[in-house]
């Protein structure tokens, strides 16, 4: 397993995709801080807040400062974590480099032919993907805070209470992001080709939230489906202080369900798959 991890890390470090991914991520952070508006790829709790703000502004005197507010350093991590699910889109290049590209090039077949078990191969890819997701999320939140502080000052106390408030959102969001990584990993081993994987993975992240939003226009009862939609659960954790113990437990259970189903299902498929 160490040799597989070492080889994949070497490919990532020597290639351009990793650095391009981080550059684009930092560019998105820069735009969010300077504009004061989050750039969300799907539906989140922030989407509904912004819609409410727009409606209120249309009924009252328009003030763009109420809608677009460039955050201070103390506000930035919370604004950034409102769209944490975007990190799952930035995982795409990593999935392709260490996953589907290995199947396309024949690297997976050669590795398995060399005596590496399928369990070790599957686990090594999943571990590296989880490490990559953790690093991306850390960079995203840290850079948001540092840049906002440089532009607008910190605007608060950097103390234990601040760190506690950040971590109690960051850690459960990271857990759900890792659940998303497990689902992406499942699709990698299901399709083994970049084109099919990319289309299905993006559809998994984007379409459920949009479909549910459209269904709520028919009946408010469909809003309960958001309780089981991954990206909305990630976003809702920004309001964790206002969530009940039952709601937090349900959110964690949803993430756990995604992890178990994707990890076991992905390995079961890979164990029986023909590797070309």
pLDDT tens column, 67-115: 567 899 999 999 999 999 999 999 999 999 999 999 999 999 999 999 9
Judge contact between 146 and 73, C-beta under 8 A.
yes
Higher pLDDT pick, 12 / 36? 12
Angle subtended at Cα 30 by Cα 29 and Cα 35, rounded to the nearest 5 degrees: 100
Predicted TM-score (pTM) of this structure: 0.90
* Residue-level pLDDT at 53: 47
> Average per-residue pLDDT in the chain?
90
Residues in the chain: 276
- Per-residue pLDDT band at 51 (split at 50, 70, 90): very low
Distance in angstroms between the alpha carbons of the first and the last residue of the chain: 21
Indicate the domain borders of the chain: 2-272
Higher pLDDT pick, 47 / 14? 14
For 43, phi then psi, to 5°, come to -100, 130
Lowest mean pLDDT segment, chosen from 44-48, 204-208, 209-213: 44-48
Say how far apart CA 89 and CA 110 lie, in whole Å.
Answer: 29
Say how far apart CA 99 and CA 96 lie, in whole Å.
Answer: 5
- What average pLDDT does range 236-262 have in this prediction? 96
* Residue-level pLDDT at 44: 57
Judge contact between 140 and 80, C-beta under 8 A.
yes
- Residues 6+ away with beta carbon under 8 Å from 142: none
């Amino acid at each position: 397993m160490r040799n597989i991890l070492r080889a994949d890390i070497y490919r990532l470090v020597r290639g351009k995709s990793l650095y391009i991914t981080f550059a684009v991520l930092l560019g998105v952070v820069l735009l969010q801080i300077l504009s004061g508006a989050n750039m969300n790829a799907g539906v989140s709790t922030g989407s509904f807040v912004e819609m409410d703000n727009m409606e209120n502004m249309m009924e009252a005197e328009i003030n763009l400062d109420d809608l677009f507010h460039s955050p201070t350093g103390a506000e930035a991590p919370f604004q950034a974590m409102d769209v944490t699910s975007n990190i799952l889109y930035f995982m795409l290049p990593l999935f392709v480099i260490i996953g589907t590209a290995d199947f396309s090039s024949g690297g997976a077949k050669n590795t398995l032919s060399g005596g590496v078990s399928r369990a070790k191969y599957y686990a090594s890819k999943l571990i590296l993907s989880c490490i990559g997701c953790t690093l991306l999320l850390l960079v995203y939140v840290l850079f948001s805070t540092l840049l906002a502080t440089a532009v607008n000052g910190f605007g608060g106390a950097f103390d234990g209470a601040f760190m506690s408030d950040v971590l109690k959102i960051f850690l459960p969001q990271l857990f759900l992001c890792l659940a998303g990584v497990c689902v992406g990993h499942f699709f990698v081993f299901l399709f083994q080709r970049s084109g099919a994987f990319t289309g299905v993975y993006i559809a998994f992240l984007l379409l459920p939230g949009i479909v549910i939003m459209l269904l709520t226009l028919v009946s408010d009862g469909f809003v309960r489906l958001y309780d089981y939609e991954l990206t909305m659960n990630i976003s809702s954790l920004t309001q964790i202080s206002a969530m009940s113990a039952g709601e937090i437990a349900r959110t964690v259970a949803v993430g756990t369900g995604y992890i178990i189903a994707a990890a076991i299902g992905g390995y079961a498929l890979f164990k029986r798959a023909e590797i070309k």
